Each structure stands twice: as structure tokens, then as C-alpha cells.
Chain A
Amino acid sequence: MSDELRKLPGDAVPDLDPVTFGVAFTRAMRRQRTAVHTPSLRTSVAIPRWLTARCLRTGGLTPADYVEAAVRCTPLEDQDLAEAVARGIVFPQAASEKPASPEEPKAVAAPVAPTDAVADILGDLASLDLDLDAIDDLSDLDALLAADQDEGDSELGAFDLFERLYSSADPGERALGELIHRFGGPAELEASAVRTVFLARVWVAKHLLAAVGELNPELCAFGVTAGYGRELRRACTEPWEVAGVLAGEADPALEPLLDDLLQHGASRELGRTLAFLAPHPAVAERRATFADAALGRALDLTDFAELVVGLGSWLDPDPDLLEASIAVSPRRALEAGAWLEQTFGIDLRPDLFDRWLRTRPRPDLGELALLAVATESWETALDGALQREVARLDGSHARLEEAVGLTAALVATGLPHGRHTARRLATEALVRVADAVLFLPLLDAFLERGVVPEVDPVLARARELGVAEEEVLDRLGQALEQLRQMVLTDAHDADRYQRLVQRVRSVPAPMMQELCACACASGNLEAMAALLAVDMGGAAAHLDDDQVASALGHKGIGGGNNLLVQWFTHRRGLRSTVAARIKEQVKATLLDEALDWVGQGDGSGERGLVPQQRSRPFRAGDGLDQLDLDGTLEAIVTSGRSLDQVTEEDLYASETARGRAALVVLIDISGSMSGGELAVCAIAVVMLLGRLLPEEVALAVFESDTHPIKGFQQTTDLDAVADQVLELQATGGTRADAALTWAADELAGVGEAEVRVLFLLSDYAFFEGEEVLKARSTALAEHGARLLAASHGYVSRDTLTTMLETMGGEHLEMDDLRRLPGLLLAALSRLGE
């Protein structure tokens, strides 16, 4: 190919012709690491062809035509980037960032009769229209494309570029620098080969727009200052983000938005809007009046908390509000109190509890366990409730089972007096056991829940019942002390460590420090593994990253499910470096645990939830490969006709249904979930996705927000799901509206599915009122879904009943959440019946 430019008549673009432009553009796009699609040789061929056709139709070519050709010949996802790259080639020295205006009038002239030059170029182009496998013909073109010469014109190094922007006097450039810093800094720029301001803006735009939906107020404000207001306005859909953009641009549209929010918005939206207005001093006054109006609307402490957190400064709540919150839902009120305490360090919970106690003079242990607060009045109430509960113990199986549940709830409070009360209750229950057969199972039940009763009274009762002392002592055998001795004496017995860690619930902090130091000094990986297995957070604080990574799960000590429990319980307290290192190990464990379950249950995932082979009448459009020959011949023979009398009505086709069920799974991970419970949910989530065909299951977890894990239309990537699931955190209140709406939307998009089920694991103590829940349940019922409700522990009966009555279905009550994966598998089997 000649090096001279092959200009078309009327081509007004200097220094470029369609072919060289096509090649240059394709090369430049291949260097863009943020591009979704890598352009192929076809792109470098398509661009000059398109430009030639455009030139023949309009009689000339303008720079806008070149840019349009590049944009049109690029898939939609990369068209913004393509425009920037194309403009960089067509206008190499241009400072303007104005995009090609689609309103620019184009001169439409009669097509010019081709001259020899055009025919010459068309001849070249026609020669490109060969079978692309014949690479020899395109070797020049390919060589040009493969060349990786850096033709940077006014390029800085990425670090210099960042420095220039970050320290610029211009607010827009400085904001751009801030955004680069927040998206990874100059190292990320360098990795993406971004070295000009123009490409830096494109790079930042991509990251900023990808973060839409999860922006924070600062990112939003910097985005507007850096000049991305227009793009953010197009992309943002959350009202608080839109408010942040409008405030940054001093747009009068902010006013109606705020009015609309005040009329229709939930407190969460109002609170977040307040946060997003904070960085903009120009709207400070409006923000203040908005806050006042919003606070006037707050119905309970949760609403109040949302607003105050958004406001960023403490306000004393109205006493009437506290009373109202306690009256509606004391548990929710305490959760809101915990959140406020976390944010502002001001603890309203003692006051809330005292108010509640005034309305409930004789609370029972169950209620007090749910409303646990570290105050003297709670402890006093607990003591009184314990006495009443002990008075009820009569040695019957039912009462003893209740006692087990209550001790678990008391331990779960995490408060010393709760644990102490649990211990006392367990002791009282055991000394009242009348039947020897029940004694050891009951003791095991308490120990499994981390409740160690007092040794002497329990031993005495065991003797009275004729239960072997060794059995009791072995169970009560001071596992912590044994562990301590093993570490101090540098023991390496992995099996023994494994047995002990299953019985040790916690290690006091000073002892943990002592034992970790000892294990480090002797390099005892088994000891370190045991300590990490008992308390990953506590042990990791005294071990370095390498030791943690090496010791975790060493020789199987504390691996498996225990590792997952430890991860969910302690990961927020881990150093980021060590968390990153052990996450891969935890992920592998999660996948192993989940895939163990996947292998259980009936049927095969490959054939779908409810695989079925069936025969149906042949219809137009069916291929002959679908013909059910046996069924057809049988029908013909039965009818007594001969072969030449066969009509299409006699034919049958066989069909394998790929699955006739659609299962939506919603799991409530609101604040009351422990690390162990989260671990079980994580296993259940991954198990489901590994077990079922992608189109059969949609899955989300929710607390105050809904986090879709996978929709019906998405493929399943277990690795990505495991990553996502390991970052779940039990937090916030329980808002079911968005989750149920998501479920209904997913089911609406399902085509053929004879069985549609919503599996919902929750305590059903939702923020929304009955009306809203009924409406959502009705919407689900209209999509044919029935409810498979699952719960463990406390459940809000009224809400559950409303939903069951509206949707139909059944309620599965678990006494132990660890049964969840098995329960799900059983539910799946029943779907096929």
C-alpha cells in the first residue's frame, strides 16, 4: 500500500484519509484498556468503507464525518470512548472538548460521479472485501495494526499529570485530581496508559458513572465541580444523588425535587439527601429548612436516625418520639439507638429500655434477650425474669427445650450479665431434669450454644440420676485450660487442637495475647491455627500477616464451616492486608462447603429443577429432529391407517422441558444476624446457585437495602457470587418493600414456569405497614408465586399470616439456622412433585 494519502474528492480533513484514519483509530482503541470491546480488523476496514459511501452520497467529507464514522463503527458500550479517541486523531492539537454536534447541518449534494482517484481507492477497498482469512492480502494493514508505537503528542507521565491536576489553582482541575485520587490515583492512570488530560477525563468519567447508585456526597460534589454535571444528571436515578448534582449546579430544579421528596420520600431518602446537600454552602439555608420539615415528619426513632445521620450533627429527639417508637417496636427503636450510638457516641438505649420497662413491669427472659441493653435496670429485670422462669421449670421436655432456646438468646446478647444469666438458667434446668435419658443431650445442647453450667450442682444431679460422671466431666472438662496448656507446652497434636476448638467459645484478651506470643516464639502453626479458629479477630491482632495466612486452617484445625463463621464475625476488625490474604482461602472454603450440599438432593441440576420428557402434537416450525418416532408410529398403528394416509395430525414431537419452576430466594440479613448465621446464609446462597440452572433461580439478600445477587436472566459465576457474599454484613433495619418488589419484577420477566415460588427467610419484623406488605404480596400472587416462608427464633406472626393468606404456601420453622441448606434442598425436591 502506498504511503501517500488517498484523499477522496471533497474531503476537507487535512493530513488524514479514510484508510489511514481507520487504521489509526483501530490502533488507538486497542490501546484503551477501559474499552469493553477490542476492535478487530473488520473495524479498520469498515470505517473507510463507510466514509467512502458517505462521501459519494454527500459529495464531501468533514471532520465530523470522520468522528461519526469512528463512533458508528464501534459498539454502543465504547462509543463515548471512541468519540474521544477519534477527536484526538482528527483534532490532535484541539483544546475543545465539545462533542460532535448531531445538529450540525450536513451539506447534501448530488453524488459526484466517481473519478479515477475514487475508482482507484474503491479498487483498493474492494480488494479488502476478500475472505478475511486470506491474511496475506491484508498483511500491510495488519502490520500497521500490530505496531505498538507510542505516538503520544502532548503527553505527560501519569504521575506528573496527576500532580499537575491535584495542585492546580483551577477548581475544576483540582476536583478532577481529587476524583483520580479516589479512583486509585496515578498508579491506576499509569496502568491504563492515560497520559493526557483528555483521556484522564474519559477515564474518570467511566469510573464516576460506574459508581452512580453508590456515590458518596464528596464524589458527587467533586464530579459536578470537575464538569461532569451533565453526565451525572443523565445517569443518576437515586433522588439524593440527583439532589447533590442539582445543588452543585445551583439548578432551580432542586426545589421541586426537594418538595417531592418531602411529600413522598421515605426517611432514608430524606436523610441521604441531607448528606448530599452538605458539601454545597450555597444551599445551606434550603438544606436547613428541608431538614426541619423532614424532622417534623419523623414517625419513629428509625426515621429520626436516618435524618440526623444525614444531617451529620446531633439533635436531641423529642421524648414523645421515643415513646412512640417504643410503643410500635421496641426492638427497632433499640436498633436505631445502636446506630446513633455508633455514629455520634450518644447512647439512647438505656432511656429507651427504661421507657419500655415502665410499660412492661414483668418482662420475660425472651423479651429481655431481644431488648438487651448494658444497663443496671436491664440486669435487674433479667434477674427477676430468671426467677420467674426458674419457677416454671418442671423437668418436662417442653420446658427444658424452651430453656435451651432462652439460654442461646441470652448468650447472643453478647453482654456479660446475659451470659451469666444463661449459665444460671442452664444450671437450674439441668438440676431439675427428672429423666436420666434427657440429661446428657440437654447438657450437650447447652454446651453447643456456648453455655457452660456450674459444675458442682450439675455433677450432683448427674450422680442422682445415675449418669456417669466421666461423661459429664468430659463435656465440662475445662477446654480452655487444656488449650492453654497445649500452647504453653508447644504441643503439635492437630487432632486434639481440633477437638478442643470446637468446645472453646472464647479466649480472654490477656490470655490470647499471652498464647499468641508463645505460639509465635515457638513457630507453632497448629497452636496459631487453634487460636485463630476460636477467635480470628483476637488472634490476628497479635500475629503478623504471614503467620495468619500460613496458620489459618492449618492441618484442618478450625477450617470448614468454622472458618466461615470466624470470617463473618471478625472480618471488619481484621487489618485490610490480612483480610485480603485470607479471603481467597475463605472463598475456597465457602465454595467447598456449598458444593458439598450441591451434590446432595434428588435429580441433576443439568436437567433443571423439574426435568421432564414429554410428547406433544407436532406443530408447524418443529424440526424433524424433534419427531417422536415411537409415539408417532404408535398413534398411526392404533388408528389402523397405512403410512401413505398419514397426515400431520398423526405426528408427535418429543420435548425436554428445561425446568418448569422459577424460584426467587430472599434472605433477610438485618442487624440481628450473628457471624454463624451469616455463614450459613452464605453457604445456602452459593449452594442454590451451584445446584440450579441459572434461569431457574433469582436470589437477593436484604436489610434496609436490597442487594440482588443474581436475577433470572443472568448467568451464574460462582466465584463472583462468593466474592460478593463474603462482603455481606448484617446491618440496619429490615425493609422488605424493595426486596419484594424486586422479586415481583423478576417473576414478571419469567416466561414459561408452571411453578413459581418465593422462598423468604426472615423474622418478618418489617418496617413497612400491613397495607404495603399486602400490596406487595398481592403483586407476587398475581405472578403466580406462592410463599415458602422460613424463620428461626422470633417471628412476627401478624405479618407472616398476612403474607401467607395473600400468597398461599407454608411456613417452615427452624430451631437451628444451620438446617437452612438442607431445608432448601428439601423445598427444591418438593417443587418437582
Chain B
Amino acid sequence: MTTDPLALLSGAKITDLHDHQDIVLEGQYREAYDAMLDAHNAGLYVGLIGPVGAGKTALCRKFAEDLGKPFDWVTFSDLVRPSNLIGSFDPTLVFKYGFAPEAFSPGPFTISALQGGVFLANELNRGDEYVLNVLLDALEERKLYVPSLRSWYRVSDDFYLIAAMNPSEHRGTRRLPSAVQDRVKVWVELGYPKRATELKIVRSRCGEYELGAAQLELVLELVDHTRNDPAVERPASIRSSIGIARLAAERSKRLGKAVDNTTLAEAAKLVLGQAILMKPGRSREKYLESLLVRVLGTAGA
């Protein structure tokens, strides 16, 4: 095993960012995909809105892969600045070349816009308005301005933007500036999938484990309850379903026994313990205990 940093980096470098994992394209995901495809063909940018863990990013990645285009993304937050999108200058090269293209490192948005890729603006409504305004010219005028180079660059006709975000009532989100909102013309809402679809998703992510259908149903039953219970403010996502299934299977494998309700309960406690958020005044521990007993007949060891 090498400890040479350059060799390590060279050996681990990813040249193909496409995620070749199969995704389950049915139910709401199929409809969303069709809507995105129509929007793309019509030259309309699309916004995907859904709670955490609903599968927005996976869907976008699949979409880009099917279109055969490069895929780049930025996850927006208060800390993202225009230079994180457009690019920045290497100061040491600026000393040498001045403000010239040789000193410029393009950011992911610039790369995507110029080479005609699919750009995912993840958590767009967590970004600062000042930063979002940087996108406007590229979206409408199909040209991109780099201030320090004092030059406009033509955005490729193949460039396509997808905006993904949590609903505006979620903590930490902002209302999108109307200029940006008006340029994203197609809005697709994703919720948590129907049971059958989620079952397929969980199964596809737990391929190496042998989990029975009945056990997976119990996992989904637990997660489903958190989504329908009025006491829960933030319910469990698909990631939680996958997490509970994998953890229970791995634990059983380690202990050399079959997956039973006790194992599921212990896994669920560990995963859901921080995955869900209760309404003010409601105890998460009491809720989980009651839920586990109700669905599994046990709250674990």
C-alpha cells in the first residue's frame, strides 16, 4: 500500500462521474422524469422540490446520464460565493500573468455552461440572492460574464440547469428571488414514494444482504408511520429505510442469526433516533418506543 500522496491521488482519481447504480424509475419518479424530459426538450429549466432524501439528486444524475451529457453540481448555502460558481484566479499566477485566462480556474458552473453539460443547482433556495443573480445572464441570454477577465462567453446550446430544493417552509431556506423563480419554468414536486416503489429502492440498495420481503415491509411500515404522524415535524426519508435495513442485516450477519424483530427494532432506534424531529413538546424517545412496540412488538433489547 503506497503512502506517496501523488500516487494515491492519481490512483483514486475518478474520470467518469456517472453513478452507474440503477435507480427505480417508476411511480412519481417516472412522472417526474417524463416532465423533466419534456421540459428539457422544450428548452425550459426545471425545478425539483421535495423533502430531504426524496431522491432528487439521484434522479438528476440519472437524467444527465441518459442525456449523455457531463454532470456538474454545486450545493448552495450562505457560504457559497460567486467565485465558487464562476471560478477564481490563482493569486500566484496572477502575479505572473496578470488577470489573464492562464491564471483563471473556472468553477463548475462555468465548465458546465461552456461545455454544454447538465448543471444541478442543489439546495438553490439556501443560496444568497447576490450569488443567484450570477446565474441570470447564463439562463436567459445564454452568455456568461467573468468580471476580472472583462469578457463575455457564449453558453453552449446544450447547457441545461436543474434546480433542486427543499420546500420553502423548511428551516434555513429562503424565498427564491423572483428573477430566478421566473426563469425556472417547470416545477416538479417529489414527495416520499409509494410503498411499492420505496420497497424496490431499498431492495436495490441492499443487494448484498438477504432480507425477506416481510422484514422490508416492517421497515417501511416504521418509516411510513413517521411520515403520517402529526407529532412528527421532520419524518424519516428513504435513506432511513435503507439505513435500517442495512444495519439490521449487517448486525444479524455479525451475530450469526436471522434478522428478527428485535434486531430491526435496535437498528431502527439507532437510525431514527436522530433522523426524525418531533413537534415541540413531544418526546422522541417515547414516540419511538411506542412506534416500535406497535409495529414490531418490541422496542429492542
Instruction: Write the residues of chain A forming the contact surface with B, with a CB cutoff of 8 angstroms.
Output: 37, 40, 42-43, 46, 49-50, 52-54, 56-57, 68, 72-77, 79, 102, 106, 129, 131-132, 236-239, 242, 260, 263-264, 266, 618, 620-624, 627, 643-644, 646-648, 651, 706, 711, 713, 735, 737-739, 741-742, 745, 749, 751
Q: Among the listed A46, A74, A79, A621, which residue makes an inter-chain contact with B88, where contact means beta carbons less than 8 Å apart?
A: A621
**Chain B proximity of A142: nearest CB distance (Å):** 16
Give A31 to B271 CA distance when docked, in angstroms: 48
Q: Are B290 and A260 neighbours in the complex by a CB distance under 8 Å? A: yes
Which residues 156-173 of B sit at the A interface, judged by CB distance below 8 A?
Answer: 167-168, 171-173
Q: Are B28 and A102 neighbours in the complex by a CB distance under 8 Å? A: yes
Q: Among the listed B38, B82, B148, which residue makes an inter-chain contact with A54, where contact means beta carbons less than 8 Å apart?
A: B38
> When A264-B286, A742-B280 are in contact, do A57 and B37 touch as well, CB less than 8 Å?
yes
Most buried by A among B91, B181, B186: B91
Give A500 to B242 CA distance when docked, in angstroms: 74
Complex: chain A residue closest to B39, CB-CB: A50
**Chain B proximity of A575: nearest CB distance (Å):** 36
Q: Which residues of B contact A623 (CB under 8 A)?
A: 81-83, 88-89
Q: Are A73 and B230 neighbours in the complex by a CB distance under 8 Å? A: no
Q: Are B42 and A53 neighbours in the complex by a CB distance under 8 Å? A: yes
> When A50-B44, A72-B39 are in contact, do A749 and B172 touch as well, CB less than 8 Å?
yes
Q: Knowing that A237-B279, A647-B92 are A-B contacts, what are 11 other residue pairs whose CB atoms are under 8 Å apart, sorted by A's residue number? A: A42-B182, A46-B44, A49-B42, A56-B41, A57-B41, A72-B39, A72-B187, A77-B168, A129-B43, A648-B91, A738-B280
Q: Which residues of A contact B79 (CB under 8 A)?
A: 751
Q: Which residues of A contact B83 (CB under 8 A)?
A: 621-623
Q: Which residues of A contact B40 (CB under 8 A)?
A: 53
Q: Among the listed B37, B168, B185, which residue makes an inter-chain contact with A46, where contact means beta carbons less than 8 Å apart?
A: B185
Give A129 to B35 CA distance when docked, in angstroms: 20
Q: Which residues of A contact B181 (CB under 8 A)?
A: 37, 75
Complex: chain B residue closest to A45, CB-CB: B185
Give A622 to B88 CA distance when docked, in angstroms: 7
Can you show 8 pairs from A to B with CB atoms below 8 A apart? A37-B178, A46-B186, A50-B185, A53-B37, A53-B39, A618-B91, A643-B95, A737-B280
Complex: chain A residue closest to B79, CB-CB: A751
Let me know if B295 is at the binding interface, CB within 8 A.
Answer: no
Let me know if B188 is at the binding interface, CB within 8 A.
Answer: yes
Q: Are A242 and B230 neighbours in the complex by a CB distance under 8 Å? A: yes
Q: Are A238 and B230 neighbours in the complex by a CB distance under 8 Å? A: yes
**Chain B proximity of A247: nearest CB distance (Å):** 15
Let me know if B5 is at the binding interface, CB within 8 A.
Answer: no
Q: Among the listed A42, A238, A735, A751, which residue makes an inter-chain contact with B185, where contact means beta carbons less than 8 Å apart?
A: A42
Give A623 to B91 CA distance when docked, in angstroms: 9
Give A81 to B156 CA distance when docked, in angstroms: 36
Complex: chain A residue closest to B165, CB-CB: A76
Give A49 to B279 CA distance when docked, in angstroms: 43
Q: Are A713 and B172 neighbours in the complex by a CB distance under 8 Å? A: yes
Q: Are A50 and B95 neighbours in the complex by a CB distance under 8 Å? A: no
Q: Are A713 and B290 neighbours in the complex by a CB distance under 8 Å? A: no
Q: Are A624 and B92 neighbours in the complex by a CB distance under 8 Å? A: no
Q: Are A737 and B279 neighbours in the complex by a CB distance under 8 Å? A: no
Which residues 220-258 of B sit at the A interface, judged by CB distance below 8 A?
Answer: 230-231, 233
Q: Which residues of A contact B31 (CB under 8 A)?
A: 102
Q: Are B172 and A76 neighbours in the complex by a CB distance under 8 Å? A: no
Q: Which residues of B contact A713 (CB under 8 A)?
A: 171-174
> When A42-B185, A46-B185, A73-B185 are in contact, do A648 and B39 touch as well, CB less than 8 Å?
no
**Chain B proximity of A624: nearest CB distance (Å):** 5
Q: Which residues of B contact A49 (CB under 8 A)?
A: 42-44
Ordered nearest first, which 8 A-B pairs have the shortest CB separation?
A: A53-B41, A49-B42, A53-B42, A738-B280, A46-B185, A237-B230, A741-B280, A53-B38
Give A238 to B230 CA distance when docked, in angstroms: 6
**Chain A proximity of B185: nearest CB distance (Å):** 4
Complex: chain A residue closest to B78, CB-CB: A751
Contact with A along B175-209 (1 / 0, CB 8 A): 00010011101111100000000000000000000
Q: Which residues of A contact B39 (CB under 8 A)?
A: 50, 53, 72
**Chain A proximity of B68: nearest CB distance (Å):** 17
Q: Which residues of B contact A737 (CB under 8 A)?
A: 280-281
Q: Which residues of A contact B168 (CB under 8 A)?
A: 76-77
Complex: chain B residue closest to A695, CB-CB: B78
Q: Are A741 and B148 neighbours in the complex by a CB distance under 8 Å? A: no
Which residues 66-98 of B sit at the A interface, judged by CB distance below 8 A?
Answer: 78-79, 81-84, 88-92, 94-96
**Chain A proximity of B215: nearest CB distance (Å):** 24
Give A266 to B281 CA distance when docked, in angstroms: 9
Q: Which residues of A contact B95 (CB under 8 A)?
A: 643-644, 646
Q: Are B38 and A79 neighbours in the complex by a CB distance under 8 Å? A: no
Give A102 to B167 CA distance when docked, in angstroms: 21
Give A750 to B290 CA distance when docked, in angstroms: 31
Q: Are A72 and B186 neighbours in the complex by a CB distance under 8 Å? A: yes
**Chain B proximity of A601: nearest CB distance (Å):** 26
**Chain A proximity of B125: nearest CB distance (Å):** 11
Contact with A along B137-163 (1 / 0, CB 8 A): 000110000001000000000000000
Give A749 to B78 CA distance when docked, in angstroms: 12
Give A648 to B89 CA distance when docked, in angstroms: 12
**Chain A proximity of B300: nearest CB distance (Å):** 19
Give A600 to B42 CA distance when docked, in angstroms: 58
Give A242 to B186 CA distance when docked, in angstroms: 33
Q: Are A651 and B91 neighbours in the complex by a CB distance under 8 Å? A: yes
Let me know if B49 is at the binding interface, CB within 8 A.
Answer: yes
Q: Which residues of B contact A237 (CB under 8 A)?
A: 230-231, 233, 279
Q: Are B183 and A76 neighbours in the complex by a CB distance under 8 Å? A: no
Q: Are A624 and B89 neighbours in the complex by a CB distance under 8 Å? A: yes
**Chain B proximity of A644: nearest CB distance (Å):** 8
Q: Among the listed B35, B140, B141, B230, which residue makes an inter-chain contact with A236, where contact means beta carbons less than 8 Å apart?
A: B230
Q: Are A131 and B84 neighbours in the complex by a CB distance under 8 Å? A: no
Q: Which residues of A contact B96 (CB under 8 A)?
A: 644
Q: Which residues of B contact A43 (CB under 8 A)?
A: 185
**Chain A proximity of B42: nearest CB distance (Å):** 4
Q: Which residues of A contact B84 (CB under 8 A)?
A: 621
Q: Which residues of B contact A618 (CB under 8 A)?
A: 91
Most buried by B among A40, A75, A129, A242: A75
Complex: chain B residue closest to A46, CB-CB: B185
Q: Among the listed A102, A263, A622, which residue makes an inter-chain contact with B290, where contact means beta carbons less than 8 Å apart?
A: A263
Q: Which residues of B contact A102 (CB under 8 A)?
A: 28, 31
Q: Are A646 and B92 neighbours in the complex by a CB distance under 8 Å? A: yes
**Chain A proximity of B167: nearest CB distance (Å):** 7
Give A684 to B49 CA distance when docked, in angstroms: 39
Q: Which residues of A contact B148 (CB under 8 A)?
A: 624
Give A648 to B91 CA distance when docked, in angstroms: 7
Q: Which residues of A contact B171 (CB under 8 A)?
A: 711, 713, 745, 749
Complex: chain B residue closest to A235, CB-CB: B230
Q: Among the listed A129, A131, A620, A739, which residue makes an inter-chain contact with B141, where contact means beta carbons less than 8 Å apart?
A: A131
Q: Are B94 and A624 neighbours in the complex by a CB distance under 8 Å? A: yes
Q: Are B280 and A74 neighbours in the complex by a CB distance under 8 Å? A: no
Give A362 to B181 CA distance when docked, in angstroms: 71
Q: Which residues of A contact B91 (CB under 8 A)?
A: 618, 624, 627, 648, 651
Give A260 to B35 CA distance when docked, in angstroms: 41
Q: Are A57 and B38 neighbours in the complex by a CB distance under 8 Å? A: yes
Complex: chain A residue closest to B184, CB-CB: A75
Give A622 to B81 CA distance when docked, in angstroms: 9
Give A407 to B145 CA distance when docked, in angstroms: 73
**Chain B proximity of A186: nearest CB distance (Å):** 31
Q: Are A42 and B183 neighbours in the complex by a CB distance under 8 Å? A: yes
Q: Among the listed A50, A260, A643, which residue makes an inter-chain contact with B42, where contact means beta carbons less than 8 Å apart?
A: A50
Q: Are A73 and B92 neighbours in the complex by a CB distance under 8 Å? A: no
> When A260-B290, A623-B81, A648-B91 are in contact, do A79 and B189 touch as well, CB less than 8 Å?
yes
Q: Are B230 and A738 neighbours in the complex by a CB distance under 8 Å? A: no
**Chain A proximity of B263: nearest CB distance (Å):** 26
Give A568 to B40 CA distance when docked, in angstroms: 58
Q: Which residues of B contact A77 (CB under 8 A)?
A: 168
Give A72 to B81 CA distance when docked, in angstroms: 30
Give A737 to B282 CA distance when docked, in angstroms: 9
Q: Which residues of A contact B172 (CB under 8 A)?
A: 713, 749
